[in-house]
Chain A
Amino acid sequence: MSQTAAQRFLQDAAVKSADLMHREIIRRGMESYDVAHLKGRARIKDWEAAREKCQEIKREAINHLDRYLLQFEEKVIARGGHVFWAANSEEACTYVKNLATRLGVRTVVKSKSMVTEEIQLSPVLEKAGIKVWETDLGEFIVQLREEPPYHIVTPAMHLNRGQIAKLFREKLDPGIESDDPADLMAAARRILRQAFFAAEMGISGANFLVADAGVIAISTNEGNGRLCTSVPRIHVVVSGIEKVIPRLEDLAVLWPVLATSGTGQGITTYGTLIGGPRRPGEVDGAEEFHVVLVDNGRSQLLADAEQREVLHCIRCGACLNICPVFRHVGGHTYGTTYPGPIGSVLTPHLNGIKEFKHLSYASSLCGACSSVCPVKIDLAHHLLQNRRNATEAGATKESERLIFRVWRYAMLRPRMYALGGWLVRKALRIIYGLGLAGSILDPMRVWNRYRSPVPLPSESFRARWRKGLDAN
């Protein structure tokens, strides 16, 4: 019998949250991120003002998405590029696959892109007999492991170098002896170099689509992005429609804020702007330039005035890094393209509230995500709104609905509430008195599985108040 997404999540979460080695690897990774992030923020004179500026830019872009996307398209076409508007994953994948087949592409190199994970582009290309190479080191590693990225910025952060060395020995070269990061990187580079020069098509994402200049902006650290976009004959950009920003000058704040939030860097090693195919007289660049603009549920979210700002996301990963739930269950447990708080907010919108509402509930609503988001998306608030949407859509359990109806009935009747409280305490005292804590007869057994029982005072506060505490 097939499991639901919620059952799978609960099962994987139980395993991962008890996996101490996993916890240690993630904690160590996140701690070094924390230090770099704070240091990076301190480099920006007024971090809060920078966040506000970014929020303002993204709000303007999202509220006028129609205008800015058309402006972007017009510029790209004028330079000889092609723009394809894909309503969903299928349209996007089919366009790229047909393009590749038509132009006789046999090898594709990809730079890191989450939207291509979202639309599951690689499997479609591979089915058509095309070899696809992930060229970001982390993506390359998880591709070898045949698993999805663990994290949207650092896809292989769940692995230590010993595990990576073993993987490389098994999949690339049994002669790899060292687990020194420099040696491992060199091994990957030897193989990827060949791929770059064999590939007829490079596929990249875009961190931003700049409307007034008609260019895509990419931030990378490994240089693979530039090779993907300039060496092969064809360059295909796949981007969500929400990535558009109004002006080139907006990058002046968005780029450093993205780098700071993503890795703590002042700016990433490479910042690349591309606006079309190679022009006469230019020495490099692709001969064909295609941009695939992916909707895939985004315009539906755009229509939701309450949650539209979720489209402001610049995919920096800061909310994943700070999230205590992510830190304990890890990226794969979510079972979604986008894990962590942004994924828990976004996935129910993109993939269905009924199947994915559990993610919006899988949070203590601690609000750490909202406090770090560089474009000030109030993620915790959106988790709460998703919960409300789920109950209003009748997607929650009948038993839970009943509990809250009873609860409400009592809360509106103070005497009944006081009596109810007394009864519950009394009953639990009896149950625990009989040594039945944690047994099937204990209504608090889920709590008690991991915690000692809650205190059960014999008198409530209101009882004590009435007994004389009320005299001022």
Chain B
Amino acid sequence: MDQLLPEVAVDTVKVLRRIGCAVEFPEDQTCCGQPALNTGYWGDARPCAEHFVRVFKNADFVVCPSGSCVSVIRLFYPELLAHSLLREDAAALASRTFEFSEFLVKVAAVTQVGATFPHSVTYHASCHGLRELKLRDEPLQLLRQVDGLKLIEMVRSEECCGFGGTFAVKFADISAAMGTSKAESVAATGAEFVTATDPSCLMHLQGILGKRDATTRTIYLASILAQDGLAQKSSAQERP
């Protein structure tokens, strides 16, 4: 996010501020440890997780624009840090850590953020937000409140886009085939944009769509919600 998709974080901050949150960005933060955790290197993931807990320990809430990272913190830290001295801090922190749409709808109880986005959009249900965090309707509630936005449902919206972190490289053929199936579902909607709760899915999809010269572009949920109708510049993800 920080390195590859800064726009996503910028828009997340923008929306959070608009609904009245004071946003801090602790500059000592790095990564929650997911890449190592998911590749089996728990010994390397553990100190990263501890670093994360130390950095964020004092926050009222931690809001993360990725369902996948949040599920690591909420569901996997307890197991990863079972024998760590920071075990209890991690558990307390997990209960205050939320995915972006989850935070808006469930914690801040806001679905109308005053966004305008006069485009057709289709929604991909990112796996970890959907199945680990059980966020099925929250992102859609937010999208339905966006002025001018036309939501088009895609077939198999809950099927994985094929990213899967190191899976995308270790098993590139399978990952790309899955991405292609997803891109076909996206294309069939004819929507201008595809959005999701995980920027990594969108990064993968953008890559697949880009290779196919597809017209649909990816845009992260917060980047839609950040559009207040006044901005001239679209903050849809830049194409490299």
Contact = CB atoms under 8 A, between A and B. Distances in A.
Interface of A: 10, 13-14, 17-18, 23, 324-325, 327-329, 361-368, 370-371, 384, 386-392, 396, 400-401, 404-405, 407-408, 410-412, 414, 417, 421, 424-425, 432, 446-447, 449-457, 459-466, 469-470, 472
Interface in B30-67: 30-31, 33, 35-44, 47-48, 51
For the complex of A and B, the 4 pairs showing the least CB-CB separation, nearest first, are: A364-B164, A451-B207, A452-B210, A387-B40
A412 B30 contact: yes
- Interface size for chain B: under 10, 10 to 19, 20 to 34, or 35 or more residues? 35 or more
7 contacts: A361-B171, A368-B127, A411-B30, A450-B208, A454-B207, A461-B1, A469-B13
Contacts of A460: 2-3, 6
Nearest to A384: B38
A401 B203 CA distance: 26
Interface string B1-25: 1111111011001000100001101
Q: Tell me if A's interface is mostly helix, strand, loop or mixed.
A: helix
B187 to A, nearest CB: 16
Given A328-B177, A455-B239, A457-B238, A447 B36 contact: no
Interface string B225-240: 0000000000001111
Contact of A432 (B42, B206, B240): B240
Given A364-B127, A392-B40, 19 more contacts: A13-B173, A13-B174, A361-B171, A364-B162, A384-B76, A387-B38, A388-B42, A391-B43, A408-B41, A408-B48, A411-B33, A414-B28, A424-B3, A447-B172, A449-B176, A450-B176, A455-B240, A456-B240, A464-B6
B3 A452 contact: no
B35 A407 contact: yes
Contact of A452 (B1, B171, B211): B211
A366 B164 contact: yes
A450 B117 CA distance: 31
B170 interface: yes
A455 B238 contact: yes
Contacts of A414: 27-30
Interface of B: 1-7, 9-10, 13, 17, 22-23, 25, 27-31, 33, 35-44, 47-48, 51, 76, 127-128, 131-132, 158-160, 162-179, 181, 203-204, 206-211, 237-240
Given A325-B178, A368-B131, A404-B44, A451 B211 contact: yes
